[in-house]
Structure 1
Amino acid sequence: MGEPGWSGKVWIGRDWWCFEGVSGDSRAHGHLCGQVVAGLEGAVRVEGEHGVVAAPVIIIPPGARHRLLGADGPLRAIYPRPLGRLARRWDLTRRSAVAPAPAAWTPMLAGEDPVAALNAEALLGEASAIDPRLKLVLDDLGGELSLADLAARAGLSTARLRALAQAELGAPLAHWRLWRRLEVALLRLRAGEGLAIAAAEAGFADQSHLNRAMNRFFGITPLTIARLLSPLPR
């Protein structure tokens, strides 16, 4: 049944993903997008590289190694979609370490209607403007073309494409390709597909490949997320 202790649901919105419930075991990990964790009945605790942080809402910047220790009751973990409006609004990339969020974030993220709150926040953000050549590559990143082929399509050398991606995205394109495939896999799981089929349709070599990628970016297995996925509330 996946990692012990995880119970609740996962929602997938246009500009964000959200887990709500009781967290279980989580390995130390980091992921490409930032993460914001809010306790619904008190403080939440996250172990970062500089020790344990406890606060009503905690910000985890992109790439920061961390381990979720739990909360005084249920919690919400929000993952802004990379390059989306919510990510732009919160601008978590300017932060360098796990830290408490501003006090004003608590009522917004711990309220009764997280979907409305997150969508309203996203509307206040501006879509990230990126180099059009890089955007062309990102649009096709979920396919099977090699980075060399994608670079040629954008009129760049492979080395220049890698440098441009690192400068504008803050991570190698190979990492972003994995992230895009994870998005597809989660959507297929939400649609009711099994793990093996979801892995294949997302472009992973097999279910084990999907498992390794999910552990790398979320610290939990696809089986756990599949068990928790729920349709987006309307």
Structure 2
Amino acid sequence: MAANAGWSGKIWIGRDWWCFEGASGDSKAHGHLCAQVVAGLDGPARVEGEAGIVEAPVVLIPPGACHRLLGGPIRAIYPRPLGRLARRWEVERWSAVAPAPAAWAPLEGDLAETLDAEAALGEGTAIDPRLKLALHALDSDLSLADLAARAGLSAPRLRALAQAELGAPLAHWRLWLRLETALLRLRAGEGLAIAAAEAGFADQSHLNRAMSRFFGITPLTVARLLDPLPR
């Protein structure tokens, strides 16, 4: 994807969040299961959503919202789906690409310290324990029927529960976890082909398609920008 060449900076992966900081290239229009918070580092952030261009110091992007970053130096936070930070920010309540409230200031100060403190405040927000049992086994090769049995539910009931609480099918979340595994393997120094295989993708092309679908950029771009945590 030619637009990926414009990306420069660093990507970090924390327990409850991922972060990109630097100059973003123009990604293609895409949506992903992770919410996104974009702050401009040299002027307002500019994000194109389905209703047009939103320009603000901080822009909130709900999970699944089709959007496109319009360049410029930014700090972008991706709270891990169903993680403590996502629960703290109540991302399931975000309905459209929109400016953050004026009082929003979670991107200030030391990045890791600030985000970890925010995440700790979301510790007490729980999801349905039956769904949690199924999610904990998503990184296995269990079928939907097996996952449902583990959670004490029928397959249709588990499917409905996942859609209600996650806003997406379990298959999408399984793919997300595999992407996360691939990124961690890339950060550990593995090549793309090995990272794809260890994450459960059929091949490198499968990983390419999934990364493009959920992030609008290629694994090669991510691999080039990955960095250790900013501790």
How would you bin the TM-score normalised by the shorter chain?
over 0.9
Please state how far the C-alpha of 1:225 moved relative to its aligned partner. 0.3
Residue aligning to 2:23:
22
**How many corresponding residue pairs?**
230
Q: 1:2-81 alignment to 2 at 5 Å?
A: 3-71=4-72, 74-81=73-80
The one-letter code sitting in structure 2 at the alignment partner of 1:194 is G
Question: For residues 116-136 of structure 1, what are the alpha-carbon distances to aligned partners after superposition, in whole Å with 9 as ceiling and x for unaligned?
Answer: 221121122235412222111
Residue aligning to 1:135:
132
**Cα distance in 2 for residues equivalent to 1:146 and 1:199:** 21
Q: 1:1-234 alignment to 2 at 5 Å?
A: 3-71=4-72, 74-106=73-105, 108-109=106-107, 111-234=108-231
**Cα distance in 1 for residues equivalent to 2:124 and 2:28:** 32
| Mapped contact 2:111–2:230 kept (Cα < 8 A) | no
| Mapped contact 1:84–1:128 kept (Cα < 8 A) | no
Please report the TM-score for the alignment, with normalisation by the length of structure 2. Answer: 0.95
Bigger mean CA deviation after superposition, 86-95 or 59-68: 86-95
Please report the TM-score for the alignment, with normalisation by the length of structure 1. Answer: 0.94
| Mapped contact 1:143–1:203 kept (Cα < 8 A) | no
Aligned CA RMSD, in angstroms, stands at 1.5
**Cα distance in 1 for residues equivalent to 2:103 and 2:130:** 38
| Mapped contact 1:33–1:62 kept (Cα < 8 A) | yes
**Cα distance in 1 for residues equivalent to 2:70 and 2:124:** 32
Question: For residues 100-141 of structure 1, what are the alpha-carbon distances to aligned partners after superposition, in whole Å with 9 as ceiling and x for unaligned?
Answer: 0122224x41x3522222112112223541222211111110
Question: For residues 64-108 of structure 1, what are the alpha-carbon distances to aligned partners after superposition, in whole Å with 9 as ceiling and x for unaligned?
Answer: 10000023xx211100011111111111221211000122224x4
The one-letter code sitting in structure 2 at the alignment partner of 1:188 is R
**Cα distance in 1 for residues equivalent to 2:109 and 2:228:** 17
Please state how far the C-alpha of 1:154 moved relative to its aligned partner. 2.4
Identity %: 80
**Cα distance in 2 for residues equivalent to 1:136 and 1:32:** 20
| Mapped contact 1:4–1:25 kept (Cα < 8 A) | no
Q: Flag the 1:203–1:69 CA change in 2: closer, same or farther, 3 A.
A: same
| Mapped contact 2:88–2:125 kept (Cα < 8 A) | no
| Mapped contact 1:44–1:75 kept (Cα < 8 A) | yes
SS in 2 for 1:105: coil
Q: Flag the 1:24–1:12 CA change in 2: closer, same or farther, 3 A.
A: same
